[in-house]
Amino acid sequence: MLGNLVRYLDSIVARDPAPRSRWEVLLYPGVWALFWHRLAHRLFNARLFFLARVVNHLSRFLTAIDIHPGARIGRNFFIDHGFTVIGETAEIGDNVTIYQCVTLGGSNPTNGVGGKRHPTLLDNVIVGSGAQIIGPVTVGKRARVGASAVVTEDVPEGATMIGVKARSTLVSAETWAKEFMPYGTPCKEPCEPSGIQRVDELEEEVAALRAQVETLLAAYEALAREAGKPVEPACKGV
């Protein structure tokens, strides 16, 4: 059991450069939330639903992380910082990383009958801060969900999802092959350029076109003077 704990703490150290030792990781709210969830999940499986909820509420009070006792979670699950909500029928594979303010939420069945209504995250998935994954969708192995993305459909294996509604952006093989990507989002291209960057590019194009027009007008005026023709006033200020 001690060996399993050490391996778990080492898996977090491998994904987070902040801690200087395993002892620091033991203070992480995500570690304690997972500890309390393991206990609550056992009570839930034993059909001691009220006691499972008591443990769940205690954990939420202490860690600001709400994991329903019915959620099924694999090995080396890491919640960085906290403020996360994970629903009852959510399923999480091994080596999954979730950053702060993420919701694994459920769809509301129209017939009021519970069923599989929360997401399934397969192995090595990374979910960036503020992302919302809603409904009984499946996020494929090694997929990345970027910060603040809203996912309502299945995510292919290895895809990187960005935006609202989330869409896949192509990622180079070198980036895809990385074992870990902080916040699930590439820091450089191939993600789409930001709106500000695009505006800057358009302004540069307009400036270049304006310079070309002014050059053509100057050449036209010179030719008109040589030919003794009047310069058209309408050509000014184009």
pLDDT per residue over 155-196, tens digit each? Answer: 999 999 988 887 777 665 455 556 677 766 666 555 555 555
**Do 112 and 224 fall within a single domain?**
no
pLDDT per residue over 106-120, tens digit each? Answer: 987 766 667 899 999
pTM over cut 0.85:
no
**Do 208 and 168 fall within a single domain?**
no
**Do 140 and 27 fall within a single domain?**
yes
Residue 189 lies in a domain: no
**Do 169 and 133 fall within a single domain?**
yes
**C-alpha to C-alpha distance for 118 and 89, rounded to whole angstroms:** 5
pLDDT per residue over 193-222, tens digit each? Answer: 555 566 778 888 999 999 999 888 888 888
Provide the residue range defining the domain that includes 113: 2-184
Coil, strand or helix: which one is 131? coil
**Do 165 and 227 fall within a single domain?**
no
**Do 54 and 119 fall within a single domain?**
yes
Residue 190 lies in a domain: no
**Do 54 and 165 fall within a single domain?**
yes
Which residues, in sequence order, are bridge partners of residue 160? 144, 169
Once rounded to an integer, what is the mean pLDDT over residues 128-140? 94
H/E element, 120 = strand 120-121
Residue 202 lies in a domain: yes
- What domain count does the chain have? 2
**Do 55 and 167 fall within a single domain?**
yes
**Do 180 and 226 fall within a single domain?**
no
**Do 170 and 203 fall within a single domain?**
no
**C-alpha to C-alpha distance for 82 and 33, rounded to whole angstroms:** 9
* DSSP-derived pairing of the beta strands 138-139 and 72-73: unpaired
**Do 30 and 99 fall within a single domain?**
yes
Residue 95 lies in a domain: yes
The domain that contains 26 carries what CATH number?
A: 2.160.10.10
Residue 54 lies in a domain: yes
Which of 141, 163, 184 is the endpoint of a domain?
A: 184
**Do 35 and 149 fall within a single domain?**
yes
Lowest mean pLDDT segment, chosen from 44-58, 127-141, 172-186, 193-207: 172-186
* DSSP-derived pairing of the beta strands 132-134 and 103-105: parallel
Residue 145 lies in a domain: yes
